[in-house]
Structure 1
């Protein structure tokens, strides 16, 4: 091999050895940097700014569960910088994230503050070798609404099943008694009653659904005296049949802004409810007054009253404080829920006073509106078509456990 070839060969050997050395050094540096990252507990750049802008509770924690950084809402759950995670469920989620097995959010119940227990969706994600990001989203309200939806579907199915089953049985009875006119007429009357009950229940469900929608209220000047007079007139015949006297207070001349149909049905429902739960020989009083810019429509009875435990739930859909009595009176369990929602849609509330054996007083409170000028656009004197059954209502506050009569 001549000297030129030796020189080229030596050069190649040098390049190979030099490249290998550089590669080894670079690899060593990378391994050192990686080990440093895995060992460090420094918060990544920008992470604190992200946490500061989050509406959910979120924290960065180290392997021992110590909170290193936190969003503002996290403190309510006891997630405070410098302290350990306060719940064993969160520690298990932390370990799963570090092991690479935490993927889908987990549902858990955590304390918020000293007394509240909230449903949260918790998720964990490793953001470095030693740090894990925990994010907690409060889903309590979503869970409550979902439970209400499930209850509504279950209750509606149950309520519909009774009249549908009765209609089917009565239809069979009519068929079997075809040669007995008297029995056919009796069955036909009962069949009509069940069909009316079914139609009333469907109408009330649709009314409540409409009240709970986002559709805005059609605002008009509504005369409260006209609404009360219409509701009292619609309930005079059922009250007389039950032996209950309706006593109408003096006219107030008050006006509110809202939908006369919805408000009229709310008042009608309360009067019908009072009549259904009043004994024969008693009276139901209906009065209107205005105080400090608030119109109050009170319906007071001398009926069975409402137990204190039931007063918090009486405005729930399908809730009945007295199941047996409500069945006898034909109640659907929707009337007071309709009252609640109708009044709430008008910026008002419903208050309740009740004592078992002493009767109940439901009071609708609505913001007063100025009396309309003659021929002013949007004026509505508040006449409502009542058919003995009220449509939809809305109310807001605490109410009590008088049973909805389905009026």
Structure 2
């Protein structure tokens, strides 16, 4: 079963709507997520800088008493952020950049140089102790002297462990080296106390806090993970007095409301619901628009079907100014033109039948009379039959010329034609008939006036116009033919002083088989095709022909052709 235009249109609109909605939703989601990610990235970078600044403060200070100045500078550097520092026992150290509103349930980070957040500080040491915290040491771990060329350090270690009382000449050592080794010995005491609690043997530490046995003898110390845990715990115990105590860092907006992370992953059904609602609206609009579009199309289809059956149809109603309304107007115009053409066709068939019926009836009548012996087949009868045959031939020739001209198949032999010469030939051809009818025929033209035309067809045009004028002008009247140059064109006028043509008849002068006097006989009126042939011949030359007339005064035909200079 074939689907209707409305169904196909609705399907197309639905598919377009679905694809558009899906693409728009996906694009909006991607752009929103990217925008949120950028915004969160900027906030995260800002928060990281705040954390890093406060962490630096905590490594350089033993308490938070001077932190307000640092926090105030951070607020100016990162406007729109509220910074709150709270100790683990709930005491507020600093609260700047906000109105003192409620804090989030979870802190953004813990500022503790002995427990550095590896997420906020990429590359943090494995024991999470900030390398900048030296405590009792004088030099960073990477710059401590690990050599003992004089044995002084070994002597100091031996005196400490066995209390030998040896003179280790430690005064000859650099102050920083002596201080660093003293701090290392203190750390060993803390580590060995931790190991003793775990029932593990003591160890000696190198300046990098690794067990000395491992590097000196290559022997793996017992339970190395336990030793590493005691070293990390002992280091934190040793360094705690030299840094600020840990605090909770809260980062919010100035009102205290925490910044919620936005995620679109849980809103899938909302997106689907919104898309479905938009789709329903699109389908409804498509159905309404489709009905409005297909209603006039169905009316046009019904009218075209009725027209194909040969019936006359009333005009299809036109609604609006859109393309379909334009199509409807064009269809109505086509239907009206078709009706006029059909009426003209019927009239032409009737006219042709009428024009041929009379001479054929005359010929048949005379022949039947001769056959029945009523009239002798003498030369006079033959002359009458020949005259009627010539009338038939004239009608047929005129119809053939008109058909060729209307089909655009008329062949013209264009050449340079002198207008005055052509007019003089026309005058010579019609002078005798004009004199016989008591009509004065005159021609005038500029000798230098030329046109590019087919000389025989131009004669045919002028012969028709002059013959008609002479035929209708009463005795004592005049027919004047004049050739002039006007606006770059050659204008040939044929004017007569005949009875004129009524204003209502002027639009029909060039119609086929038209006669001003419907009762006029063929012997005086010709075939009724002459002026129709004149118009087609003039148009074939790229010109125009018109007529003006005043009843009781006369008629003027104007032929305008391109002038040849």
Give the TM-score band, short-chain normalised: 0.5 to 0.7
Write the mapping of 1:24-39 to structure 2, written as runs, cut at 5 A. none
Matches within 5 A, 1:3-402: 40-43=283-286, 61-62=290-291, 67=292, 93=299, 104=305, 107-110=313-316, 138-140=333-335, 141-177=337-373, 180=376, 184-215=378-409, 217-370=412-565
- CA distances 1:326-359 after superposition (whole Å, capped 9, x unpaired): 5341411101111111111112111222111111
Aligned equivalents of 2:388, 2:509: Cα separation in 1: 25
Q: CA deviation at 1:164?
A: 0.9
Secondary structure of the structure 1 residue equivalent to 2:285: coil
Conserved 8 A contact 2:469-2:498: yes
- Contact 1:243–1:282 (8 Å) recurs in 2: yes
Given the superposition, is the C-alpha separation of residues 158 and 41 from structure 1 closer, same or farther in structure 2, using an over 3 Å criterion? farther
d(CA) in 2 for partners of 1:312, 1:229: 30
How has the CA–CA distance of structure 1 residues 306 and 176 changed in structure 2, closer, same or farther, with 3 Å as cutoff? same
Rate the CA distance shift 1:244–1:139 in 2: closer, same or farther, 3 A.
Answer: same
Count, aligned residues? 276
Bigger fraction of residues in helix: 2
The Cα of 1:105 is off from its aligned counterpart by 6.0
Q: Does structure 2 conserve the Cα–Cα contact (< 8 Å) formed by 1:289 and 1:295?
A: yes
How far is 1:110 from its partner?
4.1
**Structure 1 residues 160, 121: closer, same or farther in 2, change over 3 A?**
farther
CA distance in 1 between partners of 2:318 and 2:439 (Å): 51
The structure having more radius of gyration, on CA atoms, is: 2
Q: Tell me if the contact between 1:294 and 1:367 (Cα under 8 Å) persists in the aligned partners.
A: yes
Deviant stretches of 4+, over 6 Å: 36-39
Q: d(CA) in 1 for partners of 2:485 and 2:427?
A: 19
Aligned to 1:389: none
CA distance in 2 between counterparts of 1:177 and 1:245 reads 47
Label 1:252 to 1:102 Cα distance change in 2 as closer, same or farther (>3 A): closer
Give TM-score scaled by structure 2 length.
Answer: 0.43
Helix, strand or coil at the partner of 1:210: helix
2:449–2:563 CA contact under 8 A, matched in 1? yes
Say which structure, 1 or 2, has more relative contact order (CA 8 Å, 6+ apart).
1
Deviation at 1:366, TM superposition (A): 0.9
- Normalising by structure 1, we get a TM-score of 0.59
C-alpha separation in 1, matches of 2:548 and 2:303: 52
Any gaps of 5 or more consecutive residues in structure 1? 1-32, 45-58, 70-84, 114-119, 123-133, 371-407
Give CA deviations for 1:59-112 in whole Å, capped at 9, x if unaligned: 9552xxxx469xxxxxxxxxxxxxxx8xxxx59949xx9xxx999466441477
